Amino acid sequence: MVDSPLRANLFDEQRVLVTGGGTGMGLAFATAFAAHGAQVAIASRNAEHLEAGAATIAAATGAEALTQVVDVRDTESVAALATTLKTEWGGLDVLVNNAAGNFFAPVAEMSENAWRAVVDIVLDGTFRVSQACHSLLRKGSNPNVVNIVANYAWGSASYVAHSGAAKAGVLSLTRSLALEWASHGIRVNALCPGVVPTEGAKVNLFPTPEMEQMIVDTIPWGRLATADEMALQVLWLAASDYVTGECLVADGGQWLAGNPFYTLGRQVVD
């Protein structure tokens, strides 16, 4: 956890759910919330990731995370998660829709199953979890949703078109829900993180040092992002008031300089 400019007790008595919270950025988000006093729940398809993630959170903060195996593509599995939160907590203050999947695949060769796998996790999963948590959020204090998007959501996402279409959909959903749920007292925002070298991103998107350097070369700030500094942005959005329907872009200026996925993807798959 990086030094935080936020109060250590900022999220005292707040209940936070992070999907995809067992590894990578999601785990950093959950750890940062716990470090600022929150009770956290992490959900993932993989029980081993959850166990290791909960151990990481405990070691870093002393907090005991609630864990549940969940597939955000499965409505019943998501409903079971909401039931657990209702039983354990009675309500929810912050939902972070972070679960995602991505890999390079040109549209001409992509199977429908491959398209659907990503869209079903990223877009439909965000819909399912948000909807299932709505009544819990209505019982929350300063309740809000933070959806994780990507800076190719508003331009092109060549060679990761499934992810681009899904993230664009999540951005639209963010704005739609911000208005629909304003009268329910629930804010809905998005964070667009920079490229973070998590295991998942390295394996799927830039497996070689040369490819990683190609990404770095597209970032005016001159380096990749860290999961911990992205976590602070999520906390900032979650703690704020009045901000809703916004997308906070924390990508070191990358999108202003141009999207690297076209160049990188062309090298990988063409």
Q: Which residues bind ligand COA (CB under 6 A)?
A: 100-103, 105, 111, 113-114, 117-118, 200-201, 204-205
Please report where in the chains the tokens 């959020």 appear, as a residue: 137
Nearer to ligand COA, 14 or 163 (CB): 163
Q: Minimum distance between the CB of residue 231 and ligand COA, rounded to whole angstroms?
A: 16
65 contacts: CB under 8 Å, gap ≥ 6: 21, 30, 34, 40, 41, 42, 53, 54, 57, 58
Q: CB-wise, 38 or 195, nearer to ligand COA?
A: 195
Tokens linked to 260: 């690297």
The least CB distance from residue 152 to ligand COA, in Å, is 12
State the residue number with the nearest CB to ligand COA: 101
Amino acid at 199: E
Residue with tokens 């860290």: 226
Catalytic-role residue among 152, 159, 242, 262 = 152
Instruction: Name the minimum Å distance from CB 195 to ligand COA.
Output: 9
Closer of 9 and 267 to ligand COA (Cβ): 267
Are the C-beta atoms of residues 222 and 46 closer than 8 Å to each other? no
In angstroms, how far is CA 1 from the centroid of its own chain?
17
Please, what is the minimum distance in Å from the beta carbon of residue 173 to ligand COA?
19
Among candidate residues 61, 5, 72, 6, the one with its CA nearest the CA of residue 28: 61
Nearer to ligand COA, 116 or 138 (CB): 116
Strand partners, 16: 40, 94
For ligand COA, the closer of residues 105 and 188 by Cβ is 105
Q: Tell me the closest approach of the beta carbon of residue 148 to ligand COA, in angstroms.
A: 10
- Contacts of residue 105, defined as CB under 8 A and 6 or more positions apart, other chains included, come to 114, 159, 160, 162, 269
- Assess whether 152 carries a catalytic annotation: yes
| CA count, 13 A, side-chain hemisphere, 189 | 23
Which sequence positions are flagged as catalytic? 152
